């Protein structure tokens, strides 16, 4: 069968690559084409557009790149029509992929959506749109199945691909030695994000926290493809270390973490590392979010638990002082740490229903074969 896939971000590329890997043993004649990245290409995707040409974050970035986004959507539609797939598989990336779903529906092309847009957080009415335009939805958060049920949309919960990645991870036993960590210092992981705007806003804040607590070993999960000057505020501290392409090794060795809101909060929780979540956005962006968001938390850990498990410091609350106070509590309060880790264990059990990629692949191939 012919699969056209659309992933517009790094995480979508990773999960898409795992999905392709799981589909191939079930469909020996599978052929893949579409938008994605290196992971998907390595698993056999005929890559037509790399996600690094599409990963725009924030209202300002979306406005300034509107022409580029429009051109990518137009090209994607034309390429789908030329390719004539048996199914279009959309992976997250809601703003773009909802438009592709609508196009495919109008053309009579079957649409599967893997990793739902976060319509449960805001613009909940878009659930009706998804129901109209998507043939099968495969969700990765347990509460999403119940959410879509309100719209008479029966979706498949397949487990969480982040847990798959954590479970399959093989740690580097020499990680601390290779990076010359100070053995007498507690290790604090700094996860500033994976987008330029996140780094611009969060790294200066993290740098201030570092200056306040030189007794800890701070280690940054850095990304080679990002402009390295964005990390400069942290590079001025000689006792800050940087690791590249080794976030999971860092989390495996960390005592605590400061994490910019995103998928990394769930990854940190699944590694059972006490954390504080921080986030800063533009004034207009935050004002719009606060008007539209329908959920009480921003971190996946708290959303899955449906209560505050980890502290969220957002916008004006995300001051170096407040972050430092929470960090020291995470590192010194034994009971506070234990309570957080106990909640992590409960979340782990909730998500652990087998491989999300394999579950989704099995269902997709089954639905296509009728």
Could you tell me the pLDDT band of residue 60, with boundaries at 50, 70 and 90? Answer: very low
Average of per-residue pLDDT values in the chain: 92
Q: Which residues contact 111 (CB under 8 A, 6 or more apart)?
A: 87, 88, 90, 101, 104, 105, 133, 134, 135, 136
Question: Which is nearest to 57 in space by CA: 208, 151, 195, 211?
Answer: 195
| pLDDT surpassing 90 at residue 190 | yes
What single DSSP character describes residue 161?
A: H
Q: Which helix (H) or strand (E) holds 230?
A: none
| pLDDT surpassing 90 at residue 63 | no
pLDDT at res. 367: 98
| pLDDT surpassing 50 at residue 364 | yes
Per-residue pLDDT averaged across 134-161, rounded? Answer: 95
pLDDT at res. 74: 95
Could you tell me the pLDDT band of residue 66, with boundaries at 50, 70 and 90? Answer: low
Provide the sign of the torsion angle of the four alpha carbons 42, 45, 50, 51, taken in this order. Answer: negative
CA atoms of 98 and 69, how far apart (whole Å): 13
All domains of the chain, ordered by start, with CATH?
A: 2-159+354-369 (3.40.50.2000), 175-351 (3.40.50.2000)
Per-residue pLDDT averaged across 55-65, rounded? Answer: 51
| pLDDT surpassing 80 at residue 155 | yes
| pLDDT surpassing 70 at residue 169 | yes
Q: Which residues contact 299 (CB under 8 A, 6 or more apart)?
A: 261, 265, 266, 277, 310, 312
Q: Which residues contact 208 (CB under 8 A, 6 or more apart)?
A: 320
Could you tell me the pLDDT band of residue 329, with boundaries at 50, 70 and 90? Answer: very high
Q: What is the DSSP string of 309-351?
A: SSEEEEGGG--HHHHHHHHHHHHH-HHHHHHHHHHHHHHHHHH
pLDDT tens column, 94-117: 889 999 999 999 999 999 999 999
pLDDT at res. 10: 82
């Amino acid at each position: 069968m012919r699969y056209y896939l659309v992933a517009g971000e790094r995480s979508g590329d990773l999960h898409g690559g795992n999905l392709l890997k799981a589909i191939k043993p079930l469909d020996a004649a599978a052929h893949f084409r579409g938008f994605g990245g290196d992971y998907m290409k390595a698993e056999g995707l005929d890559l037509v557009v790399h996600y690094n040409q599409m990963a725009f974050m924030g209202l300002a970035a979306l406005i300034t790149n509107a022409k580029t986004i429009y051109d990518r959507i137009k090209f994607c539609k034309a390429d789908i029509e030329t390719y004539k797939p048996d199914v279009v598989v959309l992976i997250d990336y809601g703003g773009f992929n909802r438009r592709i779903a609508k196009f495919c529906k109008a053309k009579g092309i079957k649409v599967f959506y893997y990793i739902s847009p976060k319509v449960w957080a805001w613009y909940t009415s878009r659930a009706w749109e998804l129901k109209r335009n998507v043939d099968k939805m495969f969700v990765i958060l347990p509460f999403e199945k119940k959410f879509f049920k309100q719209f008479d949309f029966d979706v498949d919960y397949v487990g969480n691909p982040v847990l798959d990645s954590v479970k399959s991870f093989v740690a580097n036993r020499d990680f601390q030695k290779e990076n010359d960590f100070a053995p007498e210092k507690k290790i604090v992981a700094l996860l500033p994000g994976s987008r330029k705007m996140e780094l611009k806003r969060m790294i200066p804040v993290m740098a201030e926290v570092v200056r306040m607590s030189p007794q800890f070993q701070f280690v940054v999960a850095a990304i080679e493809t990002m402009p390295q000057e964005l990390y400069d505020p942290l590079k001025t501290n000689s006792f800050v270390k940087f690791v590249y392409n080794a976030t999971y090794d860092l989390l495996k060795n960390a005592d605590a973490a400061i994490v910019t809101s995103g998928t990394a909060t769930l990854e940190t929780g699944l590694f059972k590392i006490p954390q504080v979540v921080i986030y800063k956005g533009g004034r207009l962006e935050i004002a719009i979010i606060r008007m539209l968001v329908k959920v009480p938390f921003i971190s996946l850990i708290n959303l899955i638990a449906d209560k505050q498990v980890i502290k969220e410091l957002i916008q004006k609350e995300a001051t170096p002082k407040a972050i430092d106070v929470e960090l020291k509590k995470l590192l010194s309060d034994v009971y506070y740490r234990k309570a957080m880790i106990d909640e992590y264990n409960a979340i782990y059990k909730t998500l652990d229903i087998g491989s999300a990629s394999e579950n989704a692949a099995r269902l997709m191939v089954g639905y296509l074969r009728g």
